[in-house]
Structure 1
Amino acid sequence: MNQQHPPQQPGWGGSPQQPFGQTPFMPPPPKKAGAGKVIGLGCLGLVGFFVLIALIGAVASGGSGSNNNKNTDDAKSTDGTKSVGDTKTGGSASEGDKKLGSKRKPGKKVVVFKVWGTAPAGALGPLNITYGSDSDNRDGDFKDGEFKATLPLDDDALYFNVTAQLQGSGDIHCSVTVGGKTKKAHAAGDYNICSAQLSAGLLGGWG
């Protein structure tokens, strides 16, 4: 007589028996890698996005560099314009210097001595001329009916004069000039003397 054993319950050390004719239970298939690919593509998209931003930044910086160069060129041209203006200003300044130079006082004044007229030579020789100051006397030559000489103005001199003595006959004029002042004299016949003299002011000097 066969003894029937009750069927084993699951969880008691054995695996459950599958009913006859049914396919044993299979584990679920692994998930597809499509989601990973999507995530990978998303990462690549982010990387590409950042690369695109970097490229745009590089282009923008390049454009600003060109603008900086342009600004630099403009600054150079502006400087060039200013330098031209400075040159013009320099030219006007030089013209101003010329104008100032024209208004400057002339060089040291001179004293002018003159004798003119007819003065034939006599037994004692030709016309005798002396000129100068109280501290400086000189002789002059009468040629072709005239004599002219100049001396630097000595501010310390008390006077300047010119004298011309005839030698028996003749008719002469003489003068001495300091700045805008002139003193004249005249002599005629015999051994007469023509004498012209200019003296310093009461306080001295020839201002």
Structure 2
Amino acid sequence: MFKVGLTGGIGSGKTVITNAFSAHGIPIIDTDLIAHRVTASGGAAIPSIRTQFGATFITAEGALNRNRMRELVFNNMQAKQQLEASMQPLIRIETDRAIQTASGPYVVCVVPLLVEVSDWLKRIDRLLVVDCTVQTQVKRVMRRNGFTPQQVQAIIACQATRQTRLAAADDILLNETDTIELLLPKISLLHKLYLYLARTSA
């Protein structure tokens, strides 16, 4: 299965882009959704998180306390690395399982930390970066999540820089608009490219 990795900073518009690929009949594997599953009540990551960070980071229902963990990792790089070390192997296992059962000419794997976690680059065939300015990121996340500008900037600071993502990209979609219609022709062209690459790499 030909694998397109899709990434971008918070608020770059990854979801609307993946929805457009999905409309072409392409299976989407979203590692954010996988991360939510493994940190839900009874999820595979919960025992390790409880051991490493303590019961205060687990809710009464047995799920990850996301707000408490978010506050910790934004201010503590070591804690962020510990959390990623616990989560990433589980996410990769679930991603591989989803790829094996996917049906389509190629698959799009949405990985917000694709550039930050270098192992992902070895696991995909093509990297598509959804790009926008930091100002657009801040505006979108404030509107969507109700965060303050400082909170959004803190999240952005924990992610790869825009320049780092662009340097790693095979393909780039600049998404400064709030109307997906303007990007649909470019997405259709990328879809045709990926169909060709999937056929010729088989």
Q: TM-score, normalised by structure 2?
A: 0.17
Quick check: which one's strand share is greater?
1
Larger Rg belongs to:
1
Quick check: which one's helix share is greater?
2
Q: TM-score, normalised by structure 1?
A: 0.17
